[in-house]
Structure 1
Amino acid sequence: MTDGMINGCKTDGFLCATFLKMLPDAAWASLAATAITIALILVIGFIVRNVVHRLIGRVVSRAATGSALTGRFRKNSGATDGIDALLNERRKQRAETMGSVLKHIASIVILGTAVLTVLDRLTIPIAPLLTSVGILGVAIGFGAQELVKDFIAGMFMLLEDQYGVGDVIDAGAAVGTVEAVTLRVTRLRDADGRVWYVRNGTITRIGNESQGWSRAYLDVPVAYDSDIVMVRLLLEQVAEELWADPAFRESLIVEQPSVFGVEQLSDSSLVFRVSAKTLPARQAEVARELRLRVKAALDGAGIAITA
């Protein structure tokens, strides 16, 4: 291998041949020039890797701090701050995860190329090595199909922003709040406190209750002999008061609550429905407040809520 390195160094058209001319003794000079060339290849490889990582970091930083609001939500200035914070956090998490993946890929490609170049400089045959690695890769691919499936599904999930940390999702196998998202698994915590680890490749459909906005519904059953006009006016008054309350308009509600009127006719009651569009995953808080205010308004008017 030493003779091959010396001969290869003599015929090198750039680095190694240049160092060879600078050193007096041919045998020693060839080995020294080869060693210097290998060291330079490795140094350049690490420098390029660090530069690429720095560029990826800048791109990720810009993507994470970009504007996340849509025109629809800008119209509702009271809820802008809350939606802005949530969407920016989602963008930041997605950008950081994708940045980590890109950095790993860049490291593998750049350092792998540098190692192959060094092996070639050492006159180690690369073709059989690449063939062996290819065969090994195929074997590992067959044995790790599920793992590859999980990673591919995780990549598309991140690129499409299907869900993020803090979202309440129905993943089929489990329903809960997302606590962590990786390329391989998604970690959920359900209402009972159990932690579920769901492989991304096994998720065939996602129901996201927290993306963009949520909706709070409240069905109000009243007796058939109730004054329908009065009930509707009372519910509309409650909706207007809730929308006018700064504690809710600025941090919980996206649009003014709507009264749909009689939504259903049951055996014993007329059912009115009140709907409110809220910030993601905040519908339960708004629904509880609506129940309290509707109950107080109907009690004040002497209208009973039926079963």
Structure 2
Amino acid sequence: MNLVANIDWDRWAAPALHGLRIVLILVIAWISIRVLQRAVRAVRMRVERRMGEAEGTGRAATLGRVLRYLIAVVVGTVAIMLVLGELGVSLAPILGAAGVVGLAIGFGAQSLVKDYFTGFFLLLEDQIRTGDIVTIAGISGSVEDITLRHVRLRDYDGNVHFVPNNLITTVTNMTRSFAFAVMDVGVAYRENVDEVMQVMRQVGRWMRADEAYADLILEDLEIAGVESLGASSVVVRCRFKVAPMQQWTVRREYLRRVKAAFDDQGIEIPYPHLTVYAGVDKKGDAPVLPLRMARQAANNGARQPAA
């Protein structure tokens, strides 16, 4: 009893109070992190159920992972600062040094910081999804993975490209909502263009009636008209409105069927050729083409003995 009475309670009251505050700060920080991260998971699951798409699920999972990481960093940093304050450590020098160090790191890692900011907004604005066919930084391919650091693409040849997000200034997404399968068909100058267009429309109707392509083609064939007068052909442009990522499949099949239909109708798809024009004089008479070299070569071949 005398030992208990001799304890200097005033001496230990302040350290005990600081220790209790430190424990309380850590407990509150831990609870806050768990609650906020659970809230992020709940929102992510609700978004995934509402979207019901693999692409949307991947985007929500990536954003959820980023938000959970940020919550842990922010809450943990605040808790550490409060604990240091309870221990009597002056925060002003630490904050000043952190500012200087952060400034140096910022100058030395500008591209890395830009990677993270660009990657975050790519995900937040839903510019790219996993599985999309895109062109970024001059590289085209299928998106296999998106992180805050880079986008992983696989091109048609199977090559994998890792594109840092800080290099992405323009995103060309070829598989969002719908696409157009654009075809340029060249025919000979002697063909009737109106008849050619009629055959092209008929092939388009056959494709839409085909069960294998009915779900891929969203609208009837649209013929823009004569696109250009080439060196050896008249080019007619047309297009289908198709489901996402199906423009290449529809284009290849349509060109195959157009080739078969043109063969049946006797419509010529010409090879590139050159027409030699000798010219005419003032009376309208064409001069005789000099074939001296060809005749000489033929005569030389005739003189050679048989082997």
Which one of the candidate residues 276, 279, 282 is aligned to 2:246? 282
SS at match of 2:47: helix
* Aligned residue number for residue 152 of structure 1: 117
Give matches, 1:55-134, under 5 Å.
55-66=39-50, 88-134=53-99
Give matches, 1:1-307, under 5 Å.
25-27=9-11, 31-66=15-50, 88-250=53-215, 252-307=216-271
Structure 1 stretches (4+) deviating beyond 6 angstroms?
none
Distance 2:19 2:138 in 1: 56
Q: Which has the higher contact order (CA 8 A, sep 6+)?
A: 1
**Alpha-carbon displacement from aligned partner over 1:113-137 (angstroms, at most 9, x marks no partner):** 1122222222222222222222221
25-34 vs 147-156, which deviates more?
25-34
Distance 1:173 1:221 in 2: 29
260-269 vs 199-208, which deviates more?
260-269
Distance apart, 1:228 and its partner CA: 3.1
Structure 1 or 2, whichever has the larger Rg, is 2
Q: Cα RMSD (Å) of the superposition?
A: 2.4
Distance 2:122 2:56 in 1: 13
Distance apart, 1:234 and its partner CA: 1.6
**Alpha-carbon displacement from aligned partner over 1:73-127 (angstroms, at most 9, x marks no partner):** xxxxxxxxxxxx7xx3333332222222221111111121112222222222222
Distance apart, 1:26 and its partner CA: 4.9
Distance apart, 1:275 and its partner CA: 0.8
**Alpha-carbon displacement from aligned partner over 1:15-50 (angstroms, at most 9, x marks no partner):** xxxxxxxx9955556544543432232122111111
Q: Is the 8 A contact 1:239 1:258 kept in 2?
A: no
Distance 1:129 1:179 in 2: 42
What's the TM-score, normalizing by structure 2?
A: 0.77
* Aligned residue number for residue 274 of structure 2: none
**Alpha-carbon displacement from aligned partner over 1:139-162 (angstroms, at most 9, x marks no partner):** 211211111122122222222222
Gap change, CA 1:134 and 1:237, over 3 Å in 2: same
**Alpha-carbon displacement from aligned partner over 1:196-226 (angstroms, at most 9, x marks no partner):** 2221112222322222322212222222222
Distance apart, 1:302 and its partner CA: 2.5
SS at match of 2:218: coil
Gap change, CA 1:24 and 1:213, over 3 Å in 2: farther
Distance 1:179 1:54 in 2: 28
AA aligned to 1:110 is V
Distance 2:63 2:8 in 1: 51
SS at match of 1:66: helix
Distance 1:156 1:137 in 2: 22
Distance apart, 1:183 and its partner CA: 1.2
Distance apart, 1:173 and its partner CA: 4.3
AA aligned to 1:229 is D
**Alpha-carbon displacement from aligned partner over 1:2-21 (angstroms, at most 9, x marks no partner):** xxxxxxxxxxxxxxxxxxxx
Distance apart, 1:276 and its partner CA: 1.1
Structure 1 spans left out of the alignment, 5+ residues: 1-22, 68-84
Q: Is the 8 A contact 1:222 1:270 kept in 2?
A: yes
277-286 vs 44-53, which deviates more?
277-286
What's the TM-score, normalizing by structure 1?
A: 0.77
SS at match of 1:219: strand
AA aligned to 2:171 is I
Distance 1:174 1:224 in 2: 38
